[in-house]
Amino acid sequence: MRHGNFDSDQQNTYNWRVLRHLWPFLRESRRRVVLALLCLLLAKGAVITIPFLLKHLVDALDTGGGQLSLLALMGLVLAYGGARFSNVFFGELRDTIFGRVTERAMRRVGLQVFRHVHALDLDFHLNRRTGGLARDIERGTTGISFLMRFFVFNIAPTLFEIAVVAVILLTGYGLSFAAITLLSVFVYGLFSLRATEWRTQFVREMNEADSASNTRAVDSLMNFETVKYFTNEEFEAQRYDEELARWELARRRNRLSLFGLNGGQALIIAVAQTAMIGLAANGVRNGEMTLGDFILINQFMIQLFLPLGFLGFVFREIKGSLANIEKMFELLAIRPGVVDEPGATTLSVTRGDIRFTEVSFAYTAERPILESVSFSVAPGEKVAVVGPSGAGKSTLVKLLFRFYDPTSGSIAIDGQDIHSVTQASLRRAIGIVPQDTVLFNDSLFENVRYGKPEASDQEVEQAIRLAHLDTFIASLPDGRDTLVGERGLKLSGGEKQRVAIARTLLKRPPILVFDEATSSLDSKSERAILAALREIATDHTSLVIAHRLSTIIDADRILVLQDGQVVEQGRHRELLEQNGHYAELWQAQQKQRDAQDHPH
């Protein structure tokens, strides 16, 4: 994925992609679009009628009004008022009708990006910038709405109005007036185009600085405990201010470039209007034109340059919106590394047999993690994987969940290669109690329900009881409605683990995975959690990633992973008798425990 400045070819590619992306939303709501366009034509018809009504009114009054009856005079006045009202009314009606189209488009695009981000692989999420990503998506969806409205209702109608006015001036008042109109529009458009292209780089710089500062703020606030531990509040403030300084500089450049653009556009409009009014005034003086003609030409110039001035604003905003949408389309262009195979089937788990066959994996070619790992977990069996840090234990879990695909080899559940089944059905069949349980900033009860969102309150309460979480909940002032805080910071490690167990119990999957589920707990909490884990693992196929060997001595089989390979396997007592890697790990942990129990 590329960041930074884009060359013009790439920008044009993105521009066309945006237009192609908008078309389905317009086609889906074509009735509303047609109605909105009809309102637009009525509004434009009214606005073009106004100068003619003014001309006839002024000419009638200029001759003393004697040639015109009171009824006809009042008719002209009322027609003028009706045209003014019709212009505003049909314009507002157009916006109201089309508003539904833009709102639906924003919703659809927002949902599409949200789903796409969730579909991306773990590698993307490990490297993402949460704050900047959220800001890019927000600006992108807003930009889509702006483009839909103004492409349809401002650019084409304004060009249509310019053409009609030029024809009226050419046929009614001669080539000079039409030539000044078309020349001024051409110069204005060319200047706006070139200047806005030049300005887009400053808009992009400003957006990047804005995303960077937002990322810095979110990252710092999410890790506020670490900031407090190291008294680094001022350090964080300085880093945030550095990003804000970049944003301030980008904003200043953007503002100065906007001043140059607005000033140039205002000069072009003033010169054109002065030339037209001068010609018209001379025509009236020479008796070639009436005072009404002078008013008509003046009114047409005002009406023409108002939308033209707005067209400049629209063009600037469209370029800005395209710059905003670029980031979102970059995001949509990222393809996940792990995808369902064409014709992938739904995983059917009848027994819960897991089989790793010659599985090798590397995050990068220079750093192999697993090398030809083969083992199986029989239905209902509890198999533990142990080994030193970095041996590849947690990678086995990521491969089983298919967050990554093996470099070589295969993984099968009940004889079905997980590569050939849908990711959704695979993950529904596996429950996990992770090392670090992350909770949502919601009630404790709803965090348990997350294991099965469609579960009834009774099912959630049963899972809470089975996880022995009910006593803790009863002790809280707000009970099950207690808010757990962002990422569950209001709960202890043991309490969060019980929530994770309750979630898994609610999900009721045939296969259970415990990824160092007690590594961060004290001895008392560990014993309680282990008892709960043993209870829920009954009659389930279980894969346990263990750091503390004391937690898996009851396992049916223990695999010892060393440098990405299975070097030993067997029951706890058998492995101790072999006096190999497992025995070394066991003795080292026993010495560590003795040292903690009997400090000097």
Query: What pLDDT shows up at residue 594?
Result: 65
309 and 390 co-located in one domain: no
Amino acid at residue number 134: A
256 and 303 co-located in one domain: yes
pLDDT per residue of the chain (600 residues) written in tens, 0 to 9: 333 343 444 444 445 566 666 677 777 777 888 888 888 889 888 888 888 888 888 887 776 555 567 777 788 889 989 998 998 899 889 888 888 888 887 888 888 888 888 888 777 776 666 666 777 777 777 777 777 777 666 676 777 778 888 888 888 888 888 888 888 888 887 888 788 778 778 877 888 888 888 888 888 887 777 787 677 888 888 888 988 898 899 888 888 888 888 888 888 888 988 898 888 888 888 888 888 888 888 888 877 777 766 666 676 677 777 777 777 777 777 888 888 889 889 999 888 899 999 999 988 877 888 999 999 999 988 899 998 887 888 889 999 999 889 999 999 999 999 999 999 899 889 988 887 777 888 888 898 898 888 989 999 998 888 888 888 888 888 888 888 876 666 777 778 888 888 888 888 888 988 887 666 556 666 676 677 667 767 778 889 888 888 888 888 999 999 888 989 999 999 989 888 888 988 888 888 766 665 555
The tokens describing 545, both together, are 């990633």
DSSP state of 483: B
Structural domain total, the chain: 3
* Host domain of residue 456: 439-506
Domain C-terminal end among 333, 364, 381: 333
Measured between alpha carbons, how far is 427 from 130 in angstroms, rounded to an integer?
A: 24
Amino acid at residue number 498: R
394 and 513 co-located in one domain: yes
Rounding to the nearest 10 degrees, give the CA dihedral for residues 30, 34, 35, 38. 170
Cβ atoms of 302 and 54 closer than 8 Å = no
208 and 326 co-located in one domain: yes
202 and 279 co-located in one domain: yes
Q: How far is CA 84 from CA 42, 47, 54, 56, 79, in A?
A: 12, 7, 11, 16, 9
In a domain, 594, yes or no: yes
Domain C-terminal end among 273, 300, 333: 333
107 and 241 co-located in one domain: yes
The tokens describing 16, both together, are 């066309």
391 and 245 co-located in one domain: no
In a domain, 4, yes or no: no
Query: What pLDDT shows up at residue 265?
Result: 84
In a domain, 592, yes or no: yes
The tokens describing 431, both together, are 């429950």
Helices 156-173 and 175-222 cross at an angle (nearest 10°) of 160
Report the CATH number that the domain containing residue 517 is assigned in CATH. 3.40.50.300
In a domain, 1, yes or no: no
Give the distance, in angstroms, between the CA of residue 420 and the centroid of all CA atoms in the same chain.
29
484 and 588 co-located in one domain: no
Cβ atoms of 360 and 548 closer than 8 Å = no
33 and 140 co-located in one domain: yes
Which stretch of DSSP H or E encloses residue 161? helix 156-173
187 and 310 co-located in one domain: yes
175 and 120 co-located in one domain: yes
DSSP state of 432: E
- Pairing of β 416-417 and β 430-433: unpaired
Rounded (to 5) percent helix, strand, coil in the chain? 70, 10, 20
Report the CATH number that the domain containing residue 26 is assigned in CATH. 1.20.1560.10
**Strand ordering across the sheet containing 416-417:** 367-377, 354-364, 408-413, 416-417
Enumerate the H helices of 440-580 as residue ranges: 444-449, 457-466, 470-474, 493-507, 523-537, 572-578
In a domain, 434, yes or no: no
Domain C-terminal end among 333, 359, 387: 333
264 and 397 co-located in one domain: no
Measured between alpha carbons, how far is 183 from 189 in angstroms, rounded to an integer?
A: 10
In a domain, 304, yes or no: yes
Give the distance, in angstroms, between the CA of residue 53 and the centroid of all CA atoms in the same chain.
51
In a domain, 2, yes or no: no
Question: How many other CB atoms are there within 10 angstroms of residue 262's CB atom?
Answer: 15
In a domain, 212, yes or no: yes
